[in-house]
Structure 1
Amino acid sequence: MARTIAKDHDQKREQILKTAAKVFADQGFDRASMTVLAKECGISKANIYHYYDSKDAILYDILETYLHELRDRICNVDLSGLTPEQKLQKAVREILYAYQGADDEHRVQISGMNALTEEQQQQLRGYQRDLVNFVRDILKELAPDSFSGAKDKLRAATMSVFGMLNWYYMWNTGAGTKAREDYADLVSTLTVHGVRRL
């Protein structure tokens, strides 16, 4: 007889992913073991294997869930009726909102992706690429003269925006909504005035 799925299966799975992200972020993926993960989750090692057959599977699910949800949240922001400046401000704010509470997942994304198979990495990089392209298109609309026929310059400007946002994540992890909005507005203002002078 097939084993039935517990009513709290999804909730326990989310708990495993959140806890594992913290363990991987603090200890490093290579040093963390399934025994440590089970202990930190407050469940038996046998129970954790009921959800995931390997540490690699947990890592992939952490990053696939995080990046998929991040991509969907940002790329589906309604920008209709906004000026390019307003679009950038709204997109940048939404990215910083989305980063809030996801410090461990973000750190694991930076340090752990290379442990996955090439196919898995390609899937995850696709989510990242969609997010980068979303911001890139706003910048292109913001300063079409600056970026006409200058793909390398456009890419550099786009990645510079993400560099500023990732700096904030690294040094202001506990920042609240108002602080994130203020910094998003600073990034937007610097970017608007900067790209139009390129």
Structure 2
Amino acid sequence: MARTRATDFEDKRRGILEHAAAVFAEQGMEKASMAQIAAHGQVSKALLYHYYPSKDALIFAIITTHLEELDAAIAAAEEPALPPQARLRRLVGAVLENYRGADNEHKVQLNATSALSDEEKAAILAIEKRIVKRFAVVLREINPELDNPERPLLTPVTMSLFGMMNWVYMWFREGGRITRDDYADVATTLILEGIKAVH
């Protein structure tokens, strides 16, 4: 008879991932150990290994969980009936809001992918491409010239926007005079005004 899953399985799994992300972000991927992660999460090593058999498995789970939640938040924010400019602002806001409280997971995503297998990297890349495409579609509607085959600028412009969003954790502080909504307005305006001059 198959073993039934504990009712708090998902809560425990999520807690382990959060504690692991904190340890990885502080210690680095190579220095962090399973023992440190277990201690940080106040769980036994046996329980930790029950959920995740290795550091690589933890890293992969942290990144995929983070990206899947980000993709879901962006999809939920998408409103096709709105003008593309307003849609872009909603998508930017969804990303920045999803990053709230996720600095550790974000650092793992940016710094730890190289430790994974080619198959795991491909799985992560597939999610990232799905996320990027959601933005590229809207940016193309705003300025179709960006997708000119002779001068393909859609990807550079899209990735420039992600550059603005992905490095927010380096300087943004909650409770400061600039809110996440403020910065969402700034990033959206920079892109909207900037692509008017891109040919």
The superposition leaves residues 20-78 of structure 1 with CA deviations (integer Å, 9 ceiling, x where unpaired) of 00101110111111111111110111121221211111111111111111112213423
Q: CA RMSD in A?
A: 1.8
Are the equivalent residues in 2 in contact too, given 1:146–1:197 (CA < 8 A)?
no
Distance 1:84 1:123 in 2: 29
Q: Which residue of structure 2 aligns with residue 44 of structure 1? A: 44
Does residue 1:78 correspond to 2:78, yes or no? yes
- In structure 1, the gaps of 5 or more residues are none
1:169 Cα offset (Å)? 2.5
8 Å Cα contact 2:71-2:127 kept in structure 1:
yes
Residue 182 of structure 1 is matched in structure 2 by: 182
> Distance between the aligned counterparts of 1:57 and 1:115, measured in 2?
10
Tell me: CA distance 1:71–1:159, structure 2 relative to 1, closer, same or farther (3 Å): same
**Paired position in structure 2 for 1:142:** 142
CA shift for structure 1 position 175: 5.3
**Highest relative contact order (Cα 8 Å, sep 6+), 1 or 2?**
1
Query: TM-score, structure 2 length as denominator?
Result: 0.91
Alpha-carbon contact 1:93-1:184 (below 8 Å) kept: yes
Q: Distance in 2 between matches of 1:167 and 1:48?
A: 31
Q: 1:124 to 1:80 in 2, by over 3 A?
A: same
Structure 1 residue 158: Cα displacement: 0.7
Percentage identity across paired residues of the two chains: 40
Q: Secondary structure at the match of 1:152?
A: coil
User: Structure 1's 139 and 111: CA in aligned 2 closer, same or farther, altered over 3 A?
Assistant: same
Question: Residue 183 of structure 1: CA displacement?
Answer: 0.9
Q: Which has the higher helix share?
A: 1
Distance 1:170 1:152 in 2: 30
Contact 2:78 2:91 in 1 (8 A): no
TM-score calculated relative to the size of structure 1: 0.92
Deviates more, 1:143-152 or 1:36-45: 143-152
Equivalence for 1:96: 96
Gaps of 5+ in 2: none
For residue 47 of structure 1, what is the amino acid of its counterpart?
L
8 A contact 2:63–2:105 mirrored in 1: yes
Question: Is the alpha carbon distance of 1:156 and 1:150 closer, same or farther for their aligned partners in structure 2, counting shifts above 3 Å?
Answer: farther
Q: Distance in 2 between matches of 1:151 and 1:137?
A: 17
Cα distance in 2 for partners of 1:145, 1:8 equals: 51
Aligned pairs for 1:1-150 (under 5 A) are 3-149=3-149
Q: How many residues align?
A: 197
